């Protein structure tokens, strides 16, 4: 299972929010590129970067910080936050981002999502962000009214091969993942690859997520606070991948 450190950017700095609440922010690094190098040097094979300002404003905001991360490390970077149009997706992929995570646009513009999937096969993931089983959008500030159990099968029908599922209630809380929600996704019809995020705070959680079928796990706050040792997490990821 792939263990992916998270780098969330707000105002040009590396931060973590609690449950996506922009008023509950902790700054962990003034330089996101330095954080990227830290996780790369520790052995991470992929990084998950989110432009938090972009997610809320619906357009790229921390472009310079993203570009500096891509230039600073030689591992693949997947990026989410404010990627609402084909032009923006194309620009970031052309600038060296390996994969993009499209959230709000996937909910509000299925035609645009279909075009992205066709133009960039294997490089467009959908971010399924949910609160109490309902998909949320616009930096988690708006409820879509769409049940997760309805949304995920719809994505499969559109040809989405991989999603990043984030439980927004658990995210940043250092509690535990929503294993029940993951199980529901894995049994909801056509199978797709699932990367889980939200509440991962112990290495044992990685084993349980892998057993439930997750392809990967994104870890944020727990790495920055030291609740999870990155080297141990990466070792567990390799261990469960090898069976």
Please report which helix (H) or strand (E) contains residue 3, including its range. Answer: strand 2-10
CA distance 51 to 62: 6
**Beta-carbon contacts of residue 170 (< 8 Å; ≥ 6 apart):** 19, 176, 177, 178, 198, 199
Report strand pairing: 21-29 vs 193-197. unpaired
CA distance 149 to 134: 9
Q: How many CB atoms lie within 10 A of CB 150?
A: 11
CA angle 77, 20, 114 (to 5 degrees): 55
Burial of 184 (0-12, 13-18, 19+ CB in 10 A): middle
Active site residue 138: no
Active-site pick, 53, 129, 138, 171:
129
Q: Which of 58, 66, 56, 57 has its CA nearest to residue 9?
A: 66
Active-site pick, 8, 51, 167, 171:
8
CA distance 55 to 173: 20
Q: Is 157 helix (H, G, I), strand (E, B) or coil?
A: helix
**CB-CB contact of 170 with 176 (8 Å):** yes
Active site residue 21: no
Active site residues per annotation: 8, 129
């Amino acid at each position: 299972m792939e263990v992916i450190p998270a780098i969330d950017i707000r105002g040009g700095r590396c931060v973590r929010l609690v449950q996506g609440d922009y008023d509950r922010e902790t700054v962990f690094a003034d330089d996101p590129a330095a954080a990227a190098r830290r996780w790369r040097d520790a052995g991470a094979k992929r990084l998950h970067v989110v432009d938090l300002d972009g997610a809320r404003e619906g357009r790229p905001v921390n472009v310079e910080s993203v570009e500096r991360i891509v230039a600073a490390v030689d591992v693949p970077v997947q990026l989410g936050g404010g990627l609402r149009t084909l032009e923006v997706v194309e620009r970031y992929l052309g600038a060296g981002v390996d994969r993009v995570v499209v959230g709000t646009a996937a909910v509000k513009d299925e035609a645009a999502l279909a075009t992205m999937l066709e133009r960039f096969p294997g490089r467009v993931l959908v971010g399924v962000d949910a609160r109490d089983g309902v998909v949320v959008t616009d930096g988690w500030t708006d409820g879509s009214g769409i049940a997760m159990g309805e949304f995920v099968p719809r994505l499969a029908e559109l040809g989405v091969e991989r999603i990043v599922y984030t439980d927004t209630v658990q995210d940043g809380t250092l509690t535990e993942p929503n294993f029940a929600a993951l199980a529901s996704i894995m049994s909801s019809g056509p199978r797709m690859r699932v990367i889980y995020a939200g509440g991962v705070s112990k290495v044992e959680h990685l084993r349980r997520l892998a057993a439930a079928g997750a392809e990967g796990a994104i870890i944020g706050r727990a790495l920055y606070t030291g609740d999870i040792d990155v080297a141990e997490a990466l070792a567990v990821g390799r261990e469960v991948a090898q069976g």
